């Protein structure tokens, strides 16, 4: 069974949640606008992370 959890995040706010190995998540804006910032951290070491702003600046 694929359990889903919905987390609503108001504009200019943030939320934190755990994603375990094998899980996926989707970020959407129900109004169809661009989702601005997304940060992800590896729970065993803060140096390993996913950061949209770093990816954009290093790969453009």
Would you say residue 4 lies in a domain?
no
In angstroms, the CA 19 to CA 30 distance is 22
Would you say residue 21 lies in a domain?
no
Would you say residue 55 lies in a domain?
yes
Give Dmax over CA atoms of the chain in angstroms.
Answer: 39
Would you say residue 29 lies in a domain?
no
Number of domains in the chain: 1
**Residue pair 25/18 in contact by the 8 Å Cβ criterion:** no
Alpha helix (H) residue ranges in 1-60: 52-59
Q: What is the pLDDT of residues 19-59, one digit of tens each?
A: 888 888 888 888 878 766 777 888 777 677 777 666 555 54
Tokens for 7, please give them: 């987390």
pTM over the 0.95 mark: no
């Amino acid at each position: 069974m694929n359990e889903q959890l919905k987390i609503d995040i108001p504009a200019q706010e943030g939320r934190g949640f755990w994603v375990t190995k094998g899980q996926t998540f989707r970020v959407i804006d129900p109004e169809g606008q661009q989702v601005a910032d997304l940060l992800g951290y590896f729970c065993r070491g803060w140096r390993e992370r996913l950061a949209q702003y770093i990816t954009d600046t290093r790969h453009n």
